[in-house]
Structure 1
Amino acid sequence: MKKLIATVTLGISMLIATSPAFAYTAKSGDTMGSIAKANGMTLQELSKANPQISNLDLIYVGQNINTTKATTTTSTTTGYKQVTPASSSDKDLLARLVEAEAGGEPYAGKVAVAVVVLNRVDSADFPNSIHDVIYQSGQFSPVSNGQINNTPSADSVRAVNEALSENRSLGAGSLFFYNPSTAVSRWLDSRPTTIVIGHHVFKK
């Protein structure tokens, strides 16, 4: 019996140790200032704990907010603590796709496009690397029309760094995106919508 109790206690301890650092999900009307106050933090402390949020005046409903004071350092080059593995060539390729697909879209839309690729890497229904997801036949038009080779903007690079950080909540679960006003095929219309940003509709 003691052995069983010890095993159960160990299991609970492991669950607690591996639980996500995020402790709050943003709701309508929330601001970073109000979240900080509600959790006994200064705005600076909350900002430091959430390096994935580059604009403190812009948070999204459903976005995960870390309300634990930061104890880790972030990259001095990107400003984000990368938690999803990606080589420099993967990040460059993803930034070029983001630029080609969402160059004229809001910054949040750029992040969400990058998240779609990362979600596909994690999905059993798609290839298991950023390169192979992007180059999967018939998936992304910039690959076939050559726009994938264009130089990405600073915003597209930053969006990729953010998507690779803790901020995978933007467009959570999205595996597809399209522009309804220009899409030739509308088969995605029947799939569940996760979020709409700019001209893009994101789908599961």
Structure 2
Amino acid sequence: MTPVSVPPVSYFVQQLPTQPAVAQDPAFAPDADEDDEVAYPTLAAAVAAQDAASDDEQLRCLAGAIYFEARGEPLSGQLAVAEVILNRANSGRFAKSACGVVTQPGQFSFVRGGRIPDVAENARWRTAMAVAKVAMNDDWDSDASKALYFNAGRSPSRSLVRVASIGNHTFYR
């Protein structure tokens, strides 16, 4: 048997479409009707199946946070950052939207004057947008699905419970 060379996941993520896809790839859900929930075999497949274009403000805020906080992290780490933001928006203890959570004073160091900086729409931005869509659609379960906080390299308050450690981030509730 001859070994088969398979490109790394990063190859597939970089191939994200810049224009909306015309139809869902039937390989992901061969017997699915358009109303059926689509199940993906991997997080990379879920990300790759997303089109990267969107004018949705909440999605763009979430993608901005993923981009600035976790663009160098594995997809699971990027998804976990998105989960924290969405969990905060749903918790009743933070702002009620992704944009509100991200731009809330003192929460994210990349936010300047209540604004998320502009981003050049490159491969990492398209990945961030796709991960944001996966998170908003709840298309993949994250190891940090119950987290409200995360950090990179700093010790949190002892009152927080560690949920997961992914890449360079640790997630807490």
TM-score normalised by structure 1 residue count: 0.56
Q: Please say if 1:113 is aligned against 2:86.
A: no
Q: Which of residues 24, 44, 53 in structure 2 aligns to 1:55?
A: 44
Q: Which residue of 1 aligns with 2:16?
A: none
Partner of residue 141, structure 2: 169
Does residue 89 of the first structure (1) align with residue 44 of the second (2)? no
Instruction: Identify the residue that residue 141 of structure 1 maps to in structure 2.
Output: 109
* Aligned partners of 1:52 and 1:167 also within 8 Å: no
Question: What is the identity, as a one-letter code, of the residue corresponding to 1:196?
Answer: S
| Separation in 1, partners of 2:100, 2:136 | 17
Inter-partner Cα distance in structure 1 for 2:50 and 2:76: 22
- Name the CA distance, whole Å, in 2 between partners of 1:98 and 1:165: 16
Q: CA RMSD in A?
A: 3.2
Counterpart contact for 1:119–1:175, Cα < 8 Å: yes
Contact 1:117 1:175 survives alignment (8 Å):
yes
Q: Quote the offset at 1:188 in angstroms.
A: 3.6
Question: How far, CA to CA, are the matches of 1:55 and 1:149 in structure 2?
Answer: 26
State the alpha-carbon separation in 1 of the partners of residues 91 and 165 from structure 2.
21
1:202 pairs with 2:171 = yes
Q: How big is each residue's C-alpha offset from its partner over 1:47-95, in whole Å with a ceiling of 9 and x where there is no partner? A: 9631494436x9xxxxxxxxxxxxxxxx9746xxxxxxx9711111211
Does the 8 Å CA contact 2:71/2:128 hold for their aligned counterparts?
yes
| Contact 1:102 1:110 survives alignment (8 Å) | yes
Structure 1: where are the runs of 5+ without partners?
1-42, 59-74, 79-85
- Could you report, residue by residue, the CA deviation over 1:179-203 in whole angstroms, capped at 9, with x for unpaired residues? 12xx3xx334541111111000011
Whether the 8 Å contact between 2:43 and 2:140 is mirrored in structure 1 is no
The match for 2:9 is: none
Which amino acid is 1:156 matched to? A
CA offsets per residue over residues 92-124 of structure 1, 9 Å max, x none?
Answer: 121111110001111111111111111011001
Contact 1:117 1:133 in 2 (8 A): yes
**Which structure exhibits the higher relative contact order, with contacts defined as CA atoms closer than 8 Å and separated by 6 or more residues?**
2
Could you give the per-residue CA deviations for residues 144-176 of structure 1, whole angstroms, max 9, x where no partner exists?
A: 397743336221111101101123630111111
Alpha-carbon contact 1:118-1:130 (below 8 Å) kept: yes
Partners of 1:138 and 1:149 lie apart in 2 by 19
Distance 2:50 2:146 in 1: 29
Which amino acid in structure 2 is aligned with residue 99 of structure 1? Y
Structure 1 residues 143 and 47, CA gap change in structure 2 (3 angstroms):
farther
TM-score (norm 2): 0.65
**What one-letter code is carried by the residue in structure 1 that aligns with 2:44?**
N
Aligned to 2:161: 192
Change (3 A) 1:108 1:76: closer
Q: Contact 1:122/1:128 (CA < 8 Å) preserved in 2?
A: yes
Q: Name the count of aligned residue pairs.
A: 134
- AA in 1 matched with 2:82: A
